[in-house]
């Protein structure tokens, strides 16, 4: 699925955009920002939210490995994944009709695909860290897989494999209606 451009405005500066480059400051969804020092291009997906399009286009994603300390109370460790998952919605994911989780710790007994994750309803921007806590198994997030509802799919430049003991951040884009990996 192509990124839909809502405006052709391109900003340039010698630094990457931050949350200060938001709607109140005049930036809009669809704006591009080019860091003139690194050459990285960023795309605005929400109020103060910019994704790195240079890495997205090259297919490289930042994956964190090693010990991770989570202080947030909104952590969910659902039952072990024992098969491929379409439109995944583990018990406790949605409370009172809303997603209440910011960290999802997964454990799988084999190498499986997770083709979609239940979207927030109503659709809103949210950030989610997914941790693969498996000792030896990988979890793959296929790009825009037709096995899940469109609003639950992952949108990337290709399939993403999260190896054992690694983590990756996603943001739900109410514009794209997809889970998008956050890249640096």
pLDDT tens sequence for the chain (184 residues): 334 434 456 788 888 888 888 888 888 777 778 888 877 777 776 777 777 765 544 444 444 444 434 444 578 889 999 999 999 999 888 776 677 788 899 999 999 999 999 998 888 888 888 999 988 999 999 999 999 999 999 999 899 999 998 989 898 888 889 999 986 4
Residue 47 and residue 120 in one domain: no
Q: Would you state the structure tokens that stand for residue 23, as one six-digit string?
A: 């709607």
On whether both 98 and 159 belong to a single domain, the answer is: yes
Q: Is residue 3 part of a domain?
A: no
Strand residue runs (E) in 64-102: 64-65, 75-76, 94-95, 98-99
Residues 6+ apart with CB under 8 A from 128: 101, 102, 103, 104, 117, 169, 170, 171, 172, 179
Query: Would residue 4 count as lying in a domain?
Result: no
Residues 92 and 129 in one domain: yes
Q: Do residue 72 and residue 142 come from a single domain?
A: yes
Residues 100 and 73 occupy one common structural domain: yes
pLDDT of the residue at 9 = 65
Residues 106, 83 within the same domain? yes
DSSP state of 29: T
Q: How many domains does the chain have?
A: 2
pLDDT confidence of residue 153: 96
* Domain, as residue range, for 151: 64-181
94 part of a folded domain: yes
Statement to judge: residues 37 and 73 lie in one domain = no
pLDDT of residue 85: 97
Alpha-carbon span 89 to 116, nearest angstrom? 9
105 and 42 co-located in one domain: no
Is 153 found in the same domain as 104?
Answer: yes
Tell me, yes or no, whether 1 lies in a domain.
no
Q: Are residues 38 and 73 in the same domain?
A: no
Residues 143 and 172 occupy one common structural domain: yes
Q: What is the distance between the alpha carbons of residues 57 and 77, in angstroms, rounded to a whole number?
A: 32
- The structure tokens listed for 145 are 């897989």
| Cα separation, 184 vs 139, whole angstroms | 21
């Amino acid at each position: 699925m192509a990124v839909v451009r809502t405006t052709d405005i391109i900003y340039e500066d010698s630094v990457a955009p931050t949350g200060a480059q938001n709607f109140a400051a005049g930036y809009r969804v669809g704006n591009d920002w080019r860091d003139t020092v690194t050459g990285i291009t960023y795309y605005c997906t929400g109020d103060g939210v910019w994704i790195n399009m240079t890495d997205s286009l090259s297919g490289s994603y930042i994956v964190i490995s090693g010990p991770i300390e989570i202080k947030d109370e909104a952590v969910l460790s659902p039952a072990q994944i024992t098969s491929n998952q379409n439109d995944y919605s583990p018990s406790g994911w949605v409370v009172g009709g809303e997603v209440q989780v910011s960290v999802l710790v997964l454990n799988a007994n084999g190498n499986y695909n997770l083709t979609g994750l239940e979207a927030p309803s109503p659709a809103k921007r949210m950030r989610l860290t997914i941790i693969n806590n498996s000792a030896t198994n990988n979890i793959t997030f296929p790009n825009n897989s037709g096995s899940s509802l469109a609003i639950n799919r992952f949108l990337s430049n290709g399939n993403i494999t999260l190896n054992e003991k690694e983590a990756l951040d996603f943001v739900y884009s109410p514009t794209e209606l997809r889970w998008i990996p956050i890249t640096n």
